[in-house]
């Protein structure tokens, strides 16, 4: 089936600049972090009694794909609004991509749905952002502190753990079908995809 809209999935380690690069494309951006499961969901993965939010099992891939499919088909959908500090969805909002043949869906778990989006004919491209690990650590910590996501001590400890895990995260994402690319390369590829749509305004 040929859809009027298709998605570019943008993955990458936490703090790699996914949101920033997605905004720079000038396309509508769906934030996949809004599809985390609520903190009291019994299916959440746990490690040492605590929820493992770095696990793909903490994320609702099925609803994310359903929403992307609805956007591809109809050009609009209701999407959740997730409060990370509260560990739950707190609202929903209308999301409209009318007039844009391509939209971006970005998030740390974006690569988890590459194969399913490809199978359903929804996929225009899939990329995993890579950048120097030190830069990612600083960017992530500054963002998390500014947004008061958790207590500073927790954020520093989490940041160091993510720094160590970053190469493995990128390997997993590319193994799932996302192409490793730097920010400039992603922007060039997205521009080329848009150039293939002569009706884009």
Q: Which pLDDT does position 62 carry in this prediction?
A: 97
Cross-sheet strand order for the sheet of 123-129: 29-31, 102-106, 6-11, 123-129, 179-181
- 156 pLDDT exceeds 70? yes
Chain segment 115-133, per-residue pLDDT in tens: 999 999 999 999 999 876 5
Name all domains of the chain by residue range, CATH numbers in brackets.
6-195 (3.40.50.300)
SS3 87: coil
Sign for the pseudo-dihedral over CA of 16, 17, 19, 23:
negative
């Amino acid at each position: 089936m040929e859809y009027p809209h298709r998605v570019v999935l943008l993955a990458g380690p936490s703090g790699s600049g996914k949101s920033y690069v997605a905004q720079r494309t000038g396309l509508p951006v769906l934030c996949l972090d809004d599809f985390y499961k609520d903190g009291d969901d019994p299916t959440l993965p746990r490690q040492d009694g605590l929820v493992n939010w770095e696990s793909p099992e903490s994320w609702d891939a099925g609803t994310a794909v359903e929403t992307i499919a609805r956007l591809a088909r109809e050009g609009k959908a209701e999407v959740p609004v997730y409060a990370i500090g509260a560990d739950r969805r707190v609202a929903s909002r209308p999301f409209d991509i009318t007039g844009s043949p391509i939209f971006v869906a970005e998030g740390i778990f974006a690569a988890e749905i590459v194969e399913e989006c490809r199978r359903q004919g929804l996929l225009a491209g899939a990329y995993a952002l890579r950048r120097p690990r030190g830069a990612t650590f600083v960017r992530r910590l500054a963002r998390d502190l500014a947004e008061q996501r958790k207590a500073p001590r927790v954020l520093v400890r989490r940041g160091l753990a993510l720094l160590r895990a970053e190469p493995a995260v990128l390997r997993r994402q590319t193994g799932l079908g996302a192409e490793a690319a730097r920010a400039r390369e992603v922007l060039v590829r997205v521009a080329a995809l848009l150039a293939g749509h002569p009706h884009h305004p």
